[in-house]
Amino acid sequence: HRSPLNDFQRLRATELLAEPADQPPPPPERGSAEQCARRCAASLACRAFHYDRQSQLCQLLPRTQHSPRVQLQKNTHYDLYQKKDYLRDCIVGDGTSYRGTRATTEKGLHCQHWQATTPHDHRFVPSPRNGLEENYCRNPDRDKRGPWCYTVDPKIRHQSCGIKKCEDDVCMTCNGEDYRGAVDHTESGTECQRWDLQHPHKHPYHPDKYPDKGLDDNYCRNPDSSERPWCYTTDPEREREYCRIRLCKKRPRPLNITTGCFRGKGESYRGRANVTVSGIPCQRWDTQTPHRHHFLPEKYPCKDLQENYCRNPDGSEAPWCFTSRPTVRIAFCFHIRRCPDELAAEECYHGHGEHYRGHVSKTRKGITCQPWAAQTPHVPQISPATHPAAHLEKNYCRNPDDDSHGPWCYTMDPRTPFDYCAIKPCTGSTVPSIMENTDAVAFEQCGRRDERLQRKGR
């Protein structure tokens, strides 16, 4: 049940470019990514492969991003898969499979080239099988201390390179939700299943769906706020299991703590709201009634699960709590005010700001405005050419279309075509009240409802 892709690290939409002079790769072949991985794994010369998901073409490569004279380039047609052993900077087990590029010993001495026999003669002959290359640290004789090398110091024949084991290389804080290390085995030593595969275990944590959880390859992660990083296993009999990862000695200082309001999803909200929006008191975190749960305060030291306060220990949409009502397990605390997330207004405008001629050129979120005459990142429908009298200078905020919500601009953020600016109405600036006149109403096609269904529904 182990996927051959488990030996590879995937870089999405990426191409590995080599210099033309280098040895051209073999012609692409058709097949699935897993078939391609099997082919590359079976070839000592192969260290990576390009996979084109659309055409299902696979091209084996004799190099990785750490090889000389190569560069990575964005390319939406390809995913680049590279053998983990060539990329990892830590070792698994005794490091026999380590193929990284570390070339200095633990005391900082430079390694002697494996080809060379001076200053130290030796019997190791570099070959694709033993992976001896350049002067990189290797473990050709299964030394328990891990990869080592002969040194260029005549007085010191060889020395360990001190490359850490992966479980000790990157430590985790709190519950390991931010852990992005390279451990890919569970506590019992079982290999993890890739997050981008649905076998042997089907699961909801697709990497595309959770881009913020770092669900890379088959590394241990904590996408659901469990106690520690874990993974689905390649053992069909065992769905998931925790991983052994070192806890950092220092606990991180909580950042951006808020009490009177919450920012983003409210993970750093430390206020005292303890009632749900519908008025139901929250259940205390240190009790299991009326609702049993696994968010025990002592298991989540960084989440401040005090009393029965609204908290967001698992990255939900907003602070929430278990309710004291048996029929309602969980409720959000949406009634807690959101912290303002807009820049302080630098200037003010009268009316709708149609005559504003100031120099503010940032949106209320702090994004730089796109020059009115520019065509990227947004092709403007309003420009100096279409509105010559609107004073559309440089990238200053303006209101050429008499937008009732004030000056605005196209933005330099490709995902945000336009937005309003960090300018507010001047005090005393009056705009006709909405209550002063009401219009006749005329509608065309929308808003129709099949009333027959409604009667049947009731």
261 lies in the site for another protein, by CB under 8 A: no
C-alpha dihedral, 333 to 337 to 339 to 341, nearest 10°: 100
> Can you point out the beta strands (E) in 277-329?
320-322
If one asks whether residue 453 binds another protein (CB under 8 A), the answer comes out as yes
Both tokens of 373, joined, read: 């005459």
Is 439 among the residues that bind another protein (CB under 8 A)?
Answer: yes
Query: Could you tell me which stretch among 56-64, 87-95, 122-130, 436-444 binds another protein (CB under 8 A)?
Result: 436-444
The DSSP line for 204-217 is S--TTT-GGGT--T
Looking at 61-69, 72-80, 160-168, 405-413, which segment touches another protein (CB under 8 A)?
A: 405-413
Residue from 240, 222, 225 nearest 180 by CA: 222
Among 170, 316, 351, 384, binds another protein (CB under 8 A): 316
Q: Compare residues 169 and 418 and give the one whose CB is closer to another protein.
A: 418
Q: Count CA atoms closer than 13 A to 406's CA, side-chain side.
A: 19
Nearer to another protein, 21 or 440 (CB): 440
**Binding to another protein by residue 298, rule CB under 8 A?**
no
Residues 317-376 that bind another protein (CB under 8 A): 317-318, 327-328, 331-332, 334-335, 338, 341-342, 364-365
- Residue 137 CB coordination number (10 Å): 25
Does the footprint of another protein cover residue 404 (CB under 8 A)?
Answer: yes
Candidates 21, 42, 255, 446; binder of another protein (CB under 8 A) is 446
Q: Is 295 in the site for another protein (CB under 8 A)?
A: no
x-marked contacts with another protein along 170-209 as a string, rule CB under 8 A: ----------------------------------x-x-xx
Q: Which of 231, 239, 226 is nearest to 215 (CA)?
A: 231
Contacts of 216 (CB under 8 A, 6+ apart): 9, 10, 180, 195, 207
- 32 is a site residue for another protein (CB under 8 A): no
Of 39 and 387, nearer to another protein (C-beta) is: 387
Q: Out of 23, 427, 430, 454, which residue is the one contacting another protein (CB under 8 A)?
A: 454
Three-class secondary structure of residue 372 per DSSP: coil
Q: Which of 244, 424 has the CB closer to another protein? A: 424
Alpha-carbon torsion 229, 234, 237, 239, what sign?
positive
User: Shortest gap between Cβ of 390 and another protein (angstroms)?
Assistant: 16
What does residue 16 show for φ and ψ, rounded to 5 degrees?
Answer: -100, 110
What are the residues facing 11 on neighbouring strands?
80
For residue 144, the one-letter residue type is K
Is there binding between residue 237 and another protein (CB under 8 A)?
no
Sequence-distant (6+) residues with CB within 8 A of 153 are 109, 119
Q: How far apart, in Å, are the Cα atoms of 346 and each of 343, 360, 361?
A: 8, 7, 10
- Between residues 156 and 367, which has the closer beta carbon with respect to another protein? 367
Interface stretch with another protein, choices 27-35, 42-50, 132-140, 413-421 (CB under 8 A): 413-421
| Interatomic CA distance for residues 264 and 272, integer angstroms | 18
Asked whether position 264 contacts another protein by CB under 8 A, the answer is yes
Q: Out of 277, 296, 373, 426, which residue is the one contacting another protein (CB under 8 A)?
A: 277
Distance CA 251, CA 228 (A): 15
Q: Is 458 in the site for another protein (CB under 8 A)?
A: yes
Residues at the contact surface with another protein, assessed by CB under 8 A = 204, 206, 208-212, 264-265, 276-279, 316-318, 327-328, 331-332, 334-335, 338, 341-342, 364-365, 381, 401, 403-406, 413, 415-420, 433-435, 438-439, 441-443, 446-450, 453-454, 457-458
